[in-house]
């Protein structure tokens, strides 16, 4: 069977929501990834985010290191700091990242580098636009899962993903994969095979490909760059919430010939529910009645498990692996 990542047109969502929701359901039940086209994030806004990312990563390592990631997972991480596949990786991911916590009025993030501080209003607007786009996807999820109106209907996920509450846990991440290093790197991939942690991820790719998806749970396929599309994938929280109906699929970044001469940049927006949200199963008649055993969620029989419990466990596994 040949697998490919579907492309779903979100135009005229208010009038086409049932059609879009069915296409989303089919994608999430099978491959766990889809391209979102006709979204509402302006291209120039995305392009400027990439420009700011490059400006930051062009700084010296000494300068970037002043903003190292904090215990709350905000800030800069250098090469090899995160190991997304600790069972198979020797030295960690060949990437740099900068994570932004939610921007909230009247609150300041941990110390920001000047390039981000000078553009704080823009970055906040970009993060909020990503959030709004994610809410539309989550509304499609609610429709697809036929969540009853008395349980929250189309807003079931939305009320658990509010941006401005103190327990919001969403993350905006700028990534850079530096050129070269394939000959001296000790692992065959740049970013280890992993599933994401939250509800969904919005991924913006630019110019240089390299992402692969384990579409059939055995075979890897390329996730090519689709012009002006956002690549959306299901995270571990959503798979857990839906008792395995929605698939959180392994993906990785591999070395390609062009990586020897070109840096690879991407931007991810990790959509994560509020930390105190319960991970009891979604009230849907179409999800399995019994929750399967998940290797990355050892408490999968605990109906009182919260988002914070789950996310902390997953972050500890990748930043502080035992092996």
Q: Is 311 helix (H, G, I), strand (E, B) or coil?
A: helix
pTM of the model: 0.93
CATH 3.60.21.10 fits 7-319, yes or no: no
Among residues of the chain, what percentage have pLDDT more than 90?
Answer: 67
Residue 179 has pLDDT above 60, yes or no: yes
Residue 289 has φ and ψ, to the nearest 5°, of: -75, -30
Taking each helix axis as running N to C, give the angle between helix 120-144 and helix 13-30, from 0 to 180 degrees, rounded to the nearest 10. 80
User: Of 293 and 115, which is predicted with more confidence?
Assistant: 115
What are the residues whose beta carbons fall under 8 Å from the beta carbon of 38, sequence distance 6 or more? Answer: 9, 10, 11
Contact 294, 197 (CB under 8 A): no
pLDDT in tens, 84-106: 777 766 777 889 999 999 987 75
> How do residues 291-321 score in pLDDT, each as one tens digit?
888 877 655 454 578 888 888 888 776 655 5
Distance separating alpha carbons of residues 141 and 137, to the nearest angstrom: 6
7 strand-pairing partners: 35
pLDDT of residue 171: 93
pLDDT tens digit sequence for 129-163 = 999 999 999 999 999 999 999 999 999 999 999 99
The better pLDDT of the pair 26, 320 is held by: 26
Q: In the prediction, which pLDDT does 187 show? A: 66
Does 12 have pLDDT greater than 70?
yes
Confidence of residue 108 (pLDDT cuts 50, 70, 90): low
Largest CA distance in the chain: 58
DSSP code, position 229: P
CA-wise closest residue to 31 among 176, 246, 212: 246
């Amino acid at each position: 069977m040949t697998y490919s990542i579907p492309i779903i047109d979100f135009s005229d969502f208010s009038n086409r929501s049932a059609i879009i929701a069915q296409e989303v359901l089919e994608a999430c039940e099978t491959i766990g990834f889809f391209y979102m086209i006709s979204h509402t994030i302006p291209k120039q806004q995305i392009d400027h985010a990439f420009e700011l990312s490059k400006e930051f990563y062009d700084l010296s390592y000494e300068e970037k290191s002043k903003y190292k990631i904090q215990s709350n997972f905000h800030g800069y991480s250098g090469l090899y700091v995160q190991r997304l596949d600790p069972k198979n990786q020797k030295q960690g991911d060949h990437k740099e990242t900068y994570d932004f916590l939610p921007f909230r009025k009247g609150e300041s993030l941990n110390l920001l580098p000047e390039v981000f501080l000078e553009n704080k209003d823009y970055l906040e607007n970009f993060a909020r636009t990503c959030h709004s786009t994610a809410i539309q996807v989550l509304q499609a999820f609610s429709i697809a899962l036929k969540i009853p109106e008395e349980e929250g209907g189309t807003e079931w996920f939305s009320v658990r993903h509010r941006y401005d509450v103190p327990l919001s846990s969403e993350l905006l991440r700028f990534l850079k994969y530096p050129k070269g290093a394939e000959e001296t790197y000790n692992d065959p991939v740049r970013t280890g095979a992993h599933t994401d942690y939250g509800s969904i991820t919005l991924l913006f790719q630019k110019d240089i490909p390299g992402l692969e998806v384990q579409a059939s749970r055995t075979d890897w396929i390329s996730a090519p760059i689709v012009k002006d599309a956002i690549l959306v994938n299901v995270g571990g929280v959503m798979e857990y919430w839906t008792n395995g109906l929605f698939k959180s699929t392994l993906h990785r970044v591999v070395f390609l010939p062009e990586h020897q001469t070109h840096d690879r940049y991407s931007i991810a927006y990790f959509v994560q529910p509020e930390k105190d949200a319960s991970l009891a199963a979604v009230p849907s008649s179409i999800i399995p009645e019994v929750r399967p055993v998940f290797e990355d969620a050892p408490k999968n029989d605990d109906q009182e498990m919260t988002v914070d419990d789950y996310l902390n466990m997953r972050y500890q596994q990748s930043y502080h692996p035992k092996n």
